[in-house]
Amino acid sequence: MTFYRKLILAALILTLGVVSLGAYVRLSDAGLGCPDWPGCYGALTPHHAADAINAELEVRPEGPVSHAKAWKEMVHRYFAGTLGLLVLAIAWLAWRGRRETQGGPGLPLLLLGLIVFQALLGMWTVTQLLKPLVVSTHLLGGMATLSLLLWLWLRERGQASHAYFANVEHLRRASGVGLVLVVIQIALGGWVSTNYSALACTDFPLCQGSWVPTMDFEHGFTLHRALGETATGELLPMAALTAIHWTHRLMALVLTLYLGWLVVRVLRTPGYAGMGLVILGLLTLQVSLGISNVLFSLPLAVAVAHNTGAALLLGSLVWLNFKVRRR
């Protein structure tokens, strides 16, 4: 099953790339670079759709469609499509060799179902015109794919470390809570990004010069609505964008304090010091990138790195949870 494990690792690395590419597409306003799905104006590549793109540019020169944006969107789709084929191969190999795998074909088949759902979300992202709920769910689906592939890879590697046999009872519940908090923060971060509220507060640590600025939580966290609009079709007020941004900041503080406490417990557990340092390093990086996004007005490279860092922090908590539950 060596090839099987290598295939899982390849899919895992590719998933991290797809998540980062998705962030790059979203943050560079290229989500509607090709306004149909799965092709680009019915063509395989933007090169073959050049005439249609040029016609759209003549009508709306500053619109969401351009040659550069079309290529960004399609490259993301090509990578996502390749990932889908890899997961299909993993599921097939797991089913064929189900007596030789560490845990049977259940998890690979679940991954295959998730990939199919992700493809549908990718289509709805375009057809629903970047509806925040759809785009945020698509982001969470990518993070779930990354987490499940990491768990599968760790499972197929077997229990190679003596650290599995350390006394980790005190870490099980704490690491599980940490993982849940990271997922919640990623969901809030996705909501910030898909509602374009990252710069609703341009100062730090204050927000609009206040610890508690004017906020509209009702409209900010109404899920079923179009991008930039309230549920009734009115323009989304600034107070709603502020509520989204401020909530993400507040949760970042809660998460930082909790993971800081968790890291101390992990560092004190024999055989787990390395894991604790990894989590601490990724947490420090994420906090620094988040503050930099505000202070430097959301540089594209920093914003994409913040999304990638979230995926890596999530992965570190998945790894920790695997270790303390599979000792």
Q: Which pLDDT value is given to residue 164?
A: 47
Residues near 43 by Cβ (< 8 Å), separated by ≥ 6?
A: 49, 52
The pTM of the full predicted model, rounded to 2 decimals, is 0.95
Q: Which pLDDT value is given to residue 162?
A: 46
Does the pLDDT value for residue 100 go beyond 80?
no
Catalytic residue numbers, as ranges: 73
Q: What is the pLDDT of residues 161-193, one digit of tens each?
A: 444 456 898 899 999 999 999 999 999 999 999
Q: What is the pLDDT of residues 102-139, one digit of tens each?
A: 788 999 999 999 999 999 999 999 999 999 999 999 99
Mean pLDDT of the chain: 95
Q: What is the pLDDT of residues 227-257, one digit of tens each?
A: 999 999 999 999 999 999 999 999 999 999 9
Q: Which pLDDT value is given to residue 327?
A: 64
Q: Which pLDDT value is given to residue 163?
A: 45
Asked whether the beta carbons of 20 and 106 are under 8 A apart, the reply is no
Q: Which pLDDT value is given to residue 102?
A: 74
DSSP E strands: which ranges in the chain? none
Alpha-carbon distance of 93 to 128, in angstroms, equals 35
Alpha-carbon distance of 274 to 12, in angstroms, equals 21
CA distances from residue 274 to 111, 168, 211, 315 in whole angstroms, order as listed: 29, 15, 37, 15
Q: Which pLDDT value is given to residue 167?
A: 80
Q: What is the dihedral of CA 82, 86, 91, 97, to 10 degrees?
A: 160
Residues near 248 by Cβ (< 8 Å), separated by ≥ 6?
A: 185, 188, 189, 191, 192
Q: What is the dihedral of CA 51, 53, 55, 56, to 10 degrees?
A: 170
Alpha-carbon distance of 32 to 299, in angstroms, equals 21
Does the pLDDT value for residue 160 go beyond 60?
no
Q: What is the pLDDT of residues 6-34, one digit of tens each?
A: 999 999 999 999 999 999 999 999 999 99
